């Protein structure tokens, strides 16, 4: 069965995406792929310049195999080892007619998404969770709720629906038996031996960045860049302006004159790079009014207050461009300041452990050596606390029966810090694998496509991530100097003020806006008898937060945004 937007047989239904068959028609590929190593793959299948003698440029383009056709040809030759050859952004399925097996493949970093149902006689597969969920019961996964409240996104293979799972990045999954195999992993690859100087790593990074940005630029068309004024977005804007022969538009936001902003830095970069600069003010009424639509566009709920601004930015950018670049990825790949809370905890962790008062012989007063004390340190708990969401509130925030069901279930991060290599690299790799794939890239994917844009995150390209795996940790976070290797790579592109300034981040004033404008609307939503979250949230705690009782650290606004986002996501995704 092959129809527009659907491919399937008696046991499988693949939703959305194009489909292509190989010459023998044994293998059919369904989905989407954007391959950045097309030339070498065409050589591999023997179709580079094949039959193009005397052909016009348009005839050559028409005769070149599509990316999905390249994949089916590779599958005829290499079978399940094909994904090891691919570079780029892709999520596709390959149907083997002879063996009646469906293979699900997701790209290395998680730029694209791929979901599948785990029950019923027909298994549904697709790039959008909302489409796939129609083939499964809408039963909420309580573990996913717990993890969302800790992280502001759903990490790992779980989704908000109990009977729908997500294929992990760099993974090939076989159906119907569900065997999953990693064909690529985020892991330390720093070479031992002679120390290579920082400038050599910087030169490699610069050359790779230039190639990655070139691949993202549209031929004979203007492109856009989301520009905050920080190092990451600024270097992408500078590279795009230098490498592109068409206009480059930059887009920045702020939240009103009374709120701190980074407009002076984004304006400085825009002038330096000679982009056509656009500044958009995000107003509180627009933030609230557009939140239901934003949640409807997201596969899983994301409680990041920047979701709505991303949608507003996308709509503004669409008026000028069809391709947009961003600076996402610099922190997890190259040692941004968001790693520092965990690094400090790691440095001082013996002082947090009971009885860990060190003596001169390296043993605690209870007779435990420091290694044992270190082993007792709960890294997962501190990692979840570093998100500064609801991890420490769960015993009170969740209803008693729900908390009892989820409290002993292992976290998806349980084994994340046990990899060999440096602690800093392991921490950044955890952020790449989970926060990158399950929050940042999914948000970019969902919200750019919602407005008809093609979005790219050059600093999260698989070639850049691989370089970060090979870079020594001291070249990422060198004492107090953040992203040393990235600064070395782009030092000649940016004003000195941008290279020297510390990262401040984009702070959305949700704390203030809940107090001044949103409190009643949030109460009507979260305390209603029709609220979906009433099944698992303790209303007394929600009321305390709405009244700002005991808000010592001024965090209730962020937590309320998290709850409101979840409520609206459930509302928009459970409508008939």
What are 167-194's pLDDT values in tens digits?
999 999 999 999 999 999 998 898 887 7
Q: What is the mean pLDDT of the chain?
A: 88
Concatenated DSSP letters of 225-244: EE--SSHHHHHHHHHHHHH-
Cα 303 from Cα 286, distance rounded (Å): 17
Q: How many CB atoms lie within 10 A of CB 116?
A: 25
In this model, does residue 263 exceed pLDDT 80?
yes
Query: pLDDT digit string (tens) for 40-83?
Result: 999 999 987 654 455 444 444 445 899 999 999 999 999 999 99
| CATH architecture group of domain 2-182 | 4-Layer Sandwich (3.60)
Report how far apart, in Å, the C-alpha atoms of 197 and of each of 193, 204, 485, 493, 494 are: 12, 11, 10, 21, 22
Residue extents of the structural domains in the chain: 2-182, 198-335+452-500, 338-425, 510-573
Mean pLDDT on 502-506:
70
Angle of CA points 447, 449, 450, to nearest 5°? 60
Whose tokens are 């008026």? That residue is: 319
**Any idea what DSSP says for residue 349?**
G
pLDDT at 372: 35
What's the confidence (pLDDT) of residue 416?
82
| Contacts for 126 with CB less than 8 Å, ≥ 6 apart | 14, 15, 16, 17, 114, 115, 132
The dotted CATH code for 198-335+452-500 is 3.40.50.620
Name, in order, each residue with C-beta under 8 angstroms of 439's C-beta and a sequence gap of 6 or more: 151, 152, 153, 302, 304
Higher pLDDT among residues 420 and 153, named by residue:
153
Q: Residue 446 contacts by C-beta under 8 Å, 6 or more apart in sequence?
A: 297, 298, 299
DSSP state letter for 260: -
pLDDT at 547 over 90: yes
Phi/psi for 446 (5° steps) reads -65, -45
* 175: enclosing H helix or E strand: strand 171-175
Beta partners for 181? Answer: 172
Q: How confident is the model at residue 343 (pLDDT cuts 50, 70, 90)?
A: low
For the ranges 176-180, 278-282, 361-365, 407-411, which has the lowest average pLDDT? 361-365
Q: Which residues contact 47 (CB under 8 A, 6 or more apart)?
A: 64, 65, 70, 73
Q: Binning pLDDT at 50, 70 and 90, where does residue 367 land? A: very low
């Amino acid at each position: 069965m092959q129809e527009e937007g659907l491919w399937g047989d008696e046991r499988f239904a693949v939703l959305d995406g194009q489909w292509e068959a190989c010459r023998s028609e044994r293998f059919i590929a369904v989905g989407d792929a954007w391959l950045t190593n097309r030339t070498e793959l065409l050589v591999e299948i023997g179709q580079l310049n094949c039959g193009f003698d005397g052909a016009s440029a348009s005839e050559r383009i028409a005769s070149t195999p599509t990316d999905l056709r390249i994949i089916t040809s590779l599958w005829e030759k290499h079978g399940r080892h094909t994904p090891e050859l691919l570079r780029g952004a892709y999520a596709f399925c390959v149907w083997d007619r002879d063996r009646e097996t469906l293979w699900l493949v997701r790209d290395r970093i998680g730029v694209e998404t791929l979901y599948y149902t785990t029950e019923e006689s027909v298994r549904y597969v697709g790039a959008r969770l909302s489409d796939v969920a129609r083939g499964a019961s809408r039963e909420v996964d309580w573990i996913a709720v717990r993890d969302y409240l800790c992280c502001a996104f759903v990490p790992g293979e779980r989704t908000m629906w109990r009977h729908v799972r997500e294929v992990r990045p760099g993974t090939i999954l076989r159906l119907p038996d569900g065997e999953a195999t990693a064909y690529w992993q985020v892991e330390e690859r720093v070479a031992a031996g002679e120390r290579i100087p920082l400038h050599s790593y910087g030169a490699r990074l610069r050359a790779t960045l230039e190639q990655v940005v070139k691949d993202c630029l549209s031929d004979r068309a203007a492109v856009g860049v989301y520009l905050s004024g920080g190092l990451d977005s600024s270097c992408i804007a500078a590279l795009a302006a230098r490498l592109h022969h068409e206009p480059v538009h930059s887009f920045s936001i702020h939240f009103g004159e009374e709120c701190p902003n980074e407009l002076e830095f984004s304006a400085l970069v825009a002038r330096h790079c000679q982009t056509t600069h656009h500044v958009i003010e995000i107003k509180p009424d627009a933030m609230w009014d557009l939140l239901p639509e934003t949640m409807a566009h997201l596969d899983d709920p994301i409680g990041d207050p920047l979701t709505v601004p991303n949608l507003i930015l996308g709509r503004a950018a669409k008026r000028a461009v069809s391709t947009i670049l961003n600076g996402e990825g610099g922190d997890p790949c190259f040692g941004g300041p968001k790693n520092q809370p965990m690094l400090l905890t790691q440095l001082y962790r013996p002082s947090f452990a009971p009885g860990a008062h060190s003596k001169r012989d390296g043993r605690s007063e209870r007779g435990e050596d420091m290694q044992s004390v270190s082993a007792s340190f709960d890294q997962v708990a501190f990692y979840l606390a570093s998100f500064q969401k609801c991890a420490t509130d769960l015993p009170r925030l969740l209803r008693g029966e729900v908390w009892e069901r989820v409290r002993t279930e292992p976290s998806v991060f349980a084994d994340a810090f046990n990899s060999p290599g440096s602690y800093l690299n392991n921490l950044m790799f955890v952020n790449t694998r989970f926060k990158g794939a399950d929050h940042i890239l999914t948000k970019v994917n969902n919200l750019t496509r919602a407005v008809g844009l093609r979005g790219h995150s050059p600093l999260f390209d698989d070639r850049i991530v691989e370089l970060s795996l090979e870079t020594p940790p001291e070249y990422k976070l060198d004492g107090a100097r953040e992203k040393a290797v990235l600064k070395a790579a782009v030092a000649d592109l940016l004003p000195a003020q941008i290279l020297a300034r510390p990262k401040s981040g984009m702070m959305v004033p949700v704390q203030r806006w809940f107090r001044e404008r949103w409190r009643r609307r949030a109460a009507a939503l979260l305390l209603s008898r029709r609220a979906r979250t009433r099944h698992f949230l303790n209303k007394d705690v929600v009321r305390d937060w709405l009244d700002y009782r005991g808000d010592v650290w001024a965090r209730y606004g962020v937590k309320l945004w998290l709850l409101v986002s979840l409520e609206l996501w459930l509302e928009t995704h459970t409508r008939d």
